[in-house]
Amino acid sequence: MFDRRLLQNFEWRLLALCFTLGVLGLIALYSAVSAGSPAPQTALFYKQLVWFGIGAVLMILAFALNYKILDKLANFIYVGCIAMLGAVLVMGKYAGGSRRWLLLGPVSVQPSELIKLVLIIVLARYYSKLTKTNGYTLRELIFPAFAVLLPCALIVKQPDLGTAMLLILIAGSVTLFVKIERRSFWILISGATVLAPLVWFFLKGYQKQRILTFLDPDRDPLGAGYHIIQSKIAIGSGMLTGKGFQHGTQNVLSFLPEHHTDFIFSVFAEEWGFAGSVVLLAGFMILIIWGLSIAYRCRDPFGVILSFGITAMIFWQAFINMGMVMGLMPVVGVPLPLISYGGSSVVTNMISIGLLMNISMRRYMFDS
């Protein structure tokens, strides 16, 4: 099955970009976990290195096999992933106020990371089987709505509001991309505007509080609100050129919460300043442009929608994460792809990029 054209079309530059982002992430992580804090957690750095290794192997797998087999396997993978999400609620590992991890032997995986990609595959399969130019009607959207709301419900239970919202954003982007029929679109919009206050009415007090704090961190001056202030100070104080590797002060004093996961970008921006931030931002921008151009060149609807979905996923994660640490967005647990600490996130994103390569490599091949 290995064709010379595959090698010719291999996305070396995309691989190089992915590698560069990974290295930038490791630099930031090293600083976040080691610098000056009373109890360095350098073990996390090495763990992340191992995850990158695992991610690389899976990435090779993700571009070596023809992506079209995913079309056939989509439903199985989806059911398996939903089962894992269910298992998390029953026997997941509890840490830091929520239940997100499933212990599989020595490793703990976060099925809510994997489901992001799995959902895209399922949607791509559904929409590519039923292609239309004038958009999907409400009835045709019932299946996609169900496919996204089921994992959302399970993830909200953990509780992890951020990841659930992200799933809706990704599914929404994909659906808007394949187009919703005009009348159905307006029915959906007006339905949502009517329903939202009704749902609000039925929510319990603490649930309302959680959503309000989510939208406005200032309501929680001791938690999210404080984290945002510290994060803004960290980023802003980096100024043009930054304070230098391992010279960040906010990080050192553990002012920043989650400074190796969700808030790692603050550490990076403090140490490398505006210059570093722009480099990282440009990296993500090129990645997004690349992803979209792969979709642009692909001629198979499944491939187009899959590559668009993956690109949308990376975009939303990067946008929400950076927006959050700069105080533009609600504080949610969304990792920065390839930069934040977290095995499941790294692996999911590397497989996703592997799939992008896969689609790009096979763009001239028609086997069915």
Partner 1 sequence: MSSYLKSVDTDWYKQRLSGAMLWAMAGFFLLFTRFFYLQIIEGEEFKRLSENNCIRLQTIDPPRGLIFDAKGRLLVDNRPSFDLGIVARDARFLEQTLAKLAEYIQESPEALMEKIRSSKGVPSHKPVILKSDIDRDLLAVVEVHKFELPGVEVIVRPVRNYAFGSNAVHLIGYVGQINAAELKTERYAGYNPGDLIGKCGVESVYERFLRGKAGGRQIEVNATGRVVRVLKTLNARSGHNVYLSIDQNLQEKAESLLAGQAGAVVAMDPRNGRILALTSSPSFDPNSFVTGMSRADWETLVSDANHPLENKAIQGEYPPASTFKIITAMAGLEEGVITEHTKIFCNGVYRLGNRDFRCWKKGGHGWMSVVDALAESCDVFFYEVGQRLGVDRIARYAKACGLGAKTEIGLEHEGAGLIPTSEWKKQRYGVGWQRGETLSVAIGQGFNLTTPLQMLTVAAAVANDGQLVKPYVVDAVEAGDGTRVYEAAEHSAGRMPASENTLAIIQKGLWKVVNGNRGTARIARIEGIHVSGKTGTAQVVSRKGSDSFRKIETRKHLKSHAWFITYAPSENPVIAVSVIVEHGEHGSSAAAPIARDVVAAYLGKNQPVDDAALDNEVR
Among 150, 225, 246, 247, binds partner 1 (CB under 8 A): 225
- The piece of 126-134, 161-169, 333-341, 352-360 that touches partner 1 (CB under 8 A) is 126-134
Collapse the DSSP code of 247 into the 3-class scheme (helix H, G, I; strand E, B; otherwise coil) and give the result: coil
- The piece of 4-12, 107-115, 130-138, 333-341 that touches partner 1 (CB under 8 A) is 130-138
Dist. CA 250–CA 239, nearest whole Å: 14
Select 3 or 218, whichever has its Cβ closest to partner 1: 218
One-letter amino acid of 200: W
One-letter amino acid of 62: A
Query: Residue written as tokens 């095995």?
Result: 343
Please report the sign of the dihedral spanned by the C-alpha atoms of residue 333, residue 231, residue 280, residue 57.
negative
Beta strands 98-104 and 107-109, pairing class: antiparallel
Both structure tokens of 238: 């980096």
Dist. CA 87–CA 110, nearest whole Å: 11
Q: Phi then psi for 34, rounded to 5 degrees?
A: -110, -40
Among 10, 143, 214, 226, binds partner 1 (CB under 8 A): 226
Dist. CA 134–CA 180, nearest whole Å: 8
Q: What is the DSSP string of 295-337?
A: HHH--SHHHHHHHHHHHHHHHHHHHHHHHHHTTSS-----PPT
Select 195 or 289, whichever has its Cβ closest to partner 1: 289
Both structure tokens of 101: 């991890």
- The piece of 53-61, 113-121, 298-306, 354-362 that touches partner 1 (CB under 8 A) is 298-306
Footprint on residues 155-174 left by partner 1 (CB under 8 A): 173
Q: Classify each residue of 277-287 as buried b or exposed e, where b means 16 or more C-beta atoms within 10 Å of its C-beta.
A: beebeebbeeb
Closest CB 74 distance from partner 1, rounded Å: 19
> 334 and 317 in contact (C-beta within 8 Å)?
yes
Footprint on residues 67-96 left by partner 1 (CB under 8 A): 94
Select 9 or 128, whichever has its Cβ closest to partner 1: 128
| 19 binds partner 1, rule: CB under 8 A | no
| 240 binds partner 1, rule: CB under 8 A | yes
| 302 binds partner 1, rule: CB under 8 A | no
Q: Dmax over Cα atoms in the chain, in whole Å?
A: 62
Collapse the DSSP code of 10 into the 3-class scheme (helix H, G, I; strand E, B; otherwise coil) and give the result: coil
| 233 binds partner 1, rule: CB under 8 A | yes
Footprint on residues 248-277 left by partner 1 (CB under 8 A): 249-250, 253-255, 269-270, 273-274, 277
Select 191 or 221, whichever has its Cβ closest to partner 1: 221
Select 25 or 283, whichever has its Cβ closest to partner 1: 283
| 134 binds partner 1, rule: CB under 8 A | yes
| 38 binds partner 1, rule: CB under 8 A | yes
Closest CB 76 distance from partner 1, rounded Å: 25
> 311 and 177 in contact (C-beta within 8 Å)?
no
What residue ranges bind partner 1 (CB under 8 A)? 38-39, 94, 97, 130-134, 173, 177-179, 218, 221-222, 225-226, 229-230, 232-240, 249-250, 253-255, 269-270, 273-274, 277-278, 281, 284-285, 288-289, 292, 295-296, 298-299, 301, 304, 308, 312, 315, 319, 322-323, 326, 328
